[in-house]
Structure 1
Amino acid sequence: MPSVVKAALRALEYLPWAKSIERDARYDLTGSGMSDTVAPWSDDDEAKALADTWAGTLEISELCRRDVRRRAREEFIEVVAARYGVEPARVTPTLGSSLAITHVLMALLRPGDQVVVERPTYEPLHRVPEMLGASVSRLERDAADGWAVRPDRLARLLTSRTRAVILSNLHNPSGVGTSRETLLEVTELAARVGAVVLVDEVYLDYCFSTDAAGSLLPACLVAPNCISWSSTTKCFGFPALRAGWIVTGVPEAARAIRAATDYLHVDEPVSTLLLGARVLRQADRLTAWAERIGDAGREVVQRWITGEPRVSWVPPRAGLSGCIRLPDLMQDVPFAQHLRERYDTQVVPGSFFEAPGFVRLSFGVDPAILEQGLANVSAALDDLA
């Protein structure tokens, strides 16, 4: 009997792939977030010390009682607000950065609105507005320009129907940062047509700062028509919590976003709120550890690239991953398949991020694993040249 169930939702490509690939590659260079903080992958004393701070028994009754939810939610909001230096009325809890995308866009978009989304980018940033009936235009970011956001290109895309401009900072997949000055230009252009600027900042935590004199700032601190979101997943090493937050430039925007909560998860799990707040109280220590790991790995990759003339990259501003350009005419998907099958080494094909001819490579792993993984990439290049 034929099925009467027909999928109306277009399936994503990258996330199903990321969840389906076997994680037993000896040289796994696919990650973009820190390893689980509570289960350190090295014998480093600092990694052990961070894990030890989470040792002990959880009070299950505290995490499963509805009567503590209000207090847990207020506590989480206050901790996020303090981190950004904003009033709590501008903060909305959500379940990870991935849901934050849908959360914000559901609140702000209507079918027929125009949205401008960077390219290349993380797939849901352009798929979700399409799903919600928006018309999506693309703002090209090119490796030849250092993956920079070009306000002049944006100006040619904006219309009276433009409702939002969507970016990532640090850029996913390249790890390049967008400066406060560039963001300010973007927000001014968007404001002229009544649009908001939405920035996925889950990687910005790797170099987070609220110093107005700094070159990088959360978008919500740059202009009133900006909205930022992030989570405990990448920099902090707590992806299993699904603890996320949205911070707006003005409280009015937060009220609209909070109204969308009832369409999604209604209430956040108490465990997510309580443990998420605990993570953010240790943000400085966790960020310092991630910076140490990232700096060491980035140096290894840069040294390899200097000696490997067939590839190139724009060095990431921070974080644990970057975008490696393969030789001309070399296809990234077959290359990644060959690398896995022949050398037990896994990278992410750039095509999943709309960057064909590139691979996203993680350097947030043990240096010995990274060095051998890079040597395997060179060997695979030899095979396919």
Structure 2
Amino acid sequence: MQIAGFGVESWLNDHEREATTDISQSSVVALTMAEIAAMDGQKGQAFYQQLNQARLDYGWIEGSPTFKALVSDLYQRVPGENVLQTNGATGANYLAIYSLINPGDHVIALYPTYQQLYDIPRSLGATVDYWHVREDREWLPDIAELRRLIRPDTKMILLNNAMNPTGGLMDKALLSAVVALAREVGAYVLADEVYQPLDGTPFTSIADLYEHGIAVNSLSKTYSAPGVRIGWVATPDSAVVDQFRKYRDYTMICGGVVNDQLAVLILKHRQQIWARNRAIVVRNRAIVRDWIAQQPRVSLIMPKGISVACIKLDLPMDDESFCLNLLRDTGVLLVPGSRFDLPGRARLGYCTDTPTLKRGLHLLGDYLAQLD
């Protein structure tokens, strides 16, 4: 098995600890442990009492019944028994692809988005065709291209919705067109849905549109708890869930007792977290919009209520060299667009805390001005 290096992850592994102003990350600014624990309404006392009494055995292998029920509530067609807890969304994506894709299978992947969704199937020996997102369509793909790519033997269509790093979002009509094509050939549709919009933009999960839809999500992005490392895979297809269970035994025993209890607390109070994060998204997006208007070397297709953005840079050098120089000279961290196969661009993590965003944009703007 051969696999390409994971562009964005290797960049962050190498450089994020060097940064003094990190505006590269894709989550809404993380909650503290104290903030999460206080959601019990007793300043954390009830949560920690529950935790102190927990025995640190393997716990619930697939996630506790409470966790599974809370995740099920996020969907219309997914019963609790069809929810499996995973090690983040990356674990869920890997589980689904590893379970269903064999050498010689044909898959179609939205591209460029999250590298895991096309390089893992390729590493397993699948033939991977790209369904391209297009800047001139506000980072959406053309359904006519998918119609040309799909084959009678297509096994799976892999989506990132909303999309990292561009912030593009496929609406219900476009997803329904994808489902119609997939249904004609019996293909699965997997959608990594960790970037759900927070500003009221309508969002539809693939699991609620298609009997063979596989939804992946986690607490890392919209829920601001990447350190909990809990995600899930959810589908109305019970036969697929049983397939996942078999392969999951080889990749993950359990999510951990402590992490499960944290996940339950977060999901029980998701409306409170979403309200907090919505305010951050709306406030910071306005700051970015105003900053862009003053930058002759920067343009941006504005994301909706999604925590990632992809700025286009007018540079006299390649984007990776620019980002390295920027980090060295100012301490500001972006992710070069080339790490997503989007040269001349950079991922802007605008949903960091507002003072950090303002400082980062100021330093970035001054640095770009030196190029004139």
Whether the 8 Å contact between 2:29 and 2:353 is mirrored in structure 1 is no
Aligned residue pairs total: 368
SS of residue matched to 2:140: coil
Whether the 8 Å contact between 2:323 and 2:335 is mirrored in structure 1 is yes
Whether the 8 Å contact between 1:63 and 1:271 is mirrored in structure 2 is no
Aligned ranges 1:104-143 → 2 under 5 Å: 104-143=96-135
Instruction: State the match for 2:160 in structure 1.
Output: 168
From 183, 189, 192, give the equivalent of 1:197. Answer: 189
Instruction: State the match for 1:69 in structure 2.
Output: 60
Q: Does residue 94 of structure 1 match 2:86? A: yes
Once the 2 structures are TM-superposed, how far is the Cα of residue 343 of structure 1 from its aligned partner? 2.0
Q: Which runs of no fewer than 5 residues in structure 2 stay unpaired?
A: none
Whether the 8 Å contact between 1:291 and 1:319 is mirrored in structure 2 is no
Aligned ranges 1:209-248 → 2 under 5 Å: 215-248=202-235
SS of residue matched to 2:73: helix
Aligned ranges 1:37-56 → 2 under 5 Å: 37-38=31-32, 55-56=44-45
Over 3 Å counting, the alpha-carbon distance change for 1:308 and 1:53 in structure 2 is farther
Once the 2 structures are TM-superposed, how far is the Cα of residue 48 of structure 1 from its aligned partner? 10
Whether the 8 Å contact between 1:114 and 1:161 is mirrored in structure 2 is yes
Instruction: State the match for 1:80 in structure 2.
Output: 71
| CA–CA distance in structure 2, aligned partners of residues 323 and 377 of structure 1 | 15
Once the 2 structures are TM-superposed, how far is the Cα of residue 129 of structure 1 from its aligned partner? 0.7
| CA–CA distance in structure 1, aligned partners of residues 42 and 370 of structure 2 | 47
Over 3 Å counting, the alpha-carbon distance change for 1:361 and 1:72 in structure 2 is closer
Q: Does residue 186 of structure 1 match 2:178? A: yes
Report the identity percentage.
27
Once the 2 structures are TM-superposed, how far is the Cα of residue 109 of structure 1 from its aligned partner? 1.0
Whether the 8 Å contact between 2:195 and 2:307 is mirrored in structure 1 is no
User: Which segment is superposed worse, 253-262 or 116-125?
Assistant: 253-262
| CA–CA distance in structure 1, aligned partners of residues 71 and 302 of structure 2 | 30
Over 3 Å counting, the alpha-carbon distance change for 1:133 and 1:89 in structure 2 is same
**What is the Cα-based RMSD across aligned positions, in Å?**
2.5
Over 3 Å counting, the alpha-carbon distance change for 1:175 and 1:278 in structure 2 is same
Q: Does residue 29 of structure 1 match 2:23? A: yes
Instruction: State the match for 2:326 in structure 1.
Output: 339
Q: Does residue 297 of structure 1 match 2:284? A: yes
Deviations 1:81-120 (A, max 9, x none): 1222332232122111011111001111111101111111
Instruction: State the match for 2:350 in structure 1.
Output: 363
Over 3 Å counting, the alpha-carbon distance change for 1:314 and 1:164 in structure 2 is same
Q: Compute the TM-score of the two structures, normalised by the length of structure 2.
A: 0.91
SS of residue matched to 1:204: coil
Once the 2 structures are TM-superposed, how far is the Cα of residue 380 of structure 1 from its aligned partner? 2.4
Q: Compute the TM-score of the two structures, normalised by the length of structure 1.
A: 0.88
Instruction: State the match for 1:257 in structure 2.
Output: 244
Whether the 8 Å contact between 2:192 and 2:215 is mirrored in structure 1 is yes
Once the 2 structures are TM-superposed, how far is the Cα of residue 259 of structure 1 from its aligned partner? 2.1
Letter in structure 2 aligned against 1:318: G
| CA–CA distance in structure 1, aligned partners of residues 293 and 197 of structure 2 | 28
Q: Does residue 315 of structure 1 match 2:315? A: no
Q: Which runs of no fewer than 5 residues in structure 1 stay unpaired?
A: 1-6, 41-45, 209-213
| CA–CA distance in structure 1, aligned partners of residues 224 and 202 of structure 2 | 25
Deviations 1:150-189 (A, max 9, x none): 2111111111231111111111111121101100001111
Once the 2 structures are TM-superposed, how far is the Cα of residue 252 of structure 1 from its aligned partner? 2.4
Over 3 Å counting, the alpha-carbon distance change for 1:281 and 1:248 in structure 2 is same
Q: Does residue 14 of structure 1 match 2:8? A: yes
SS of residue matched to 2:81: helix
Whether the 8 Å contact between 2:214 and 2:235 is mirrored in structure 1 is yes
Deviations 1:225-284 (A, max 9, x none): 211110111121222221111111332222222222112113332223222122111111
Letter in structure 2 aligned against 1:250: D
SS of residue matched to 1:252: helix
- Relative contact order higher in (CA < 8 Å, ≥ 6 apart): 2
| CA–CA distance in structure 2, aligned partners of residues 121 and 54 of structure 1 | 40
Whether the 8 Å contact between 1:312 and 1:326 is mirrored in structure 2 is yes
| CA–CA distance in structure 1, aligned partners of residues 319 and 258 of structure 2 | 40
User: Which segment is superposed worse, 146-155 or 372-381?
Assistant: 372-381
Once the 2 structures are TM-superposed, how far is the Cα of residue 31 of structure 1 from its aligned partner? 1.3
| CA–CA distance in structure 2, aligned partners of residues 71 and 339 of structure 1 | 44
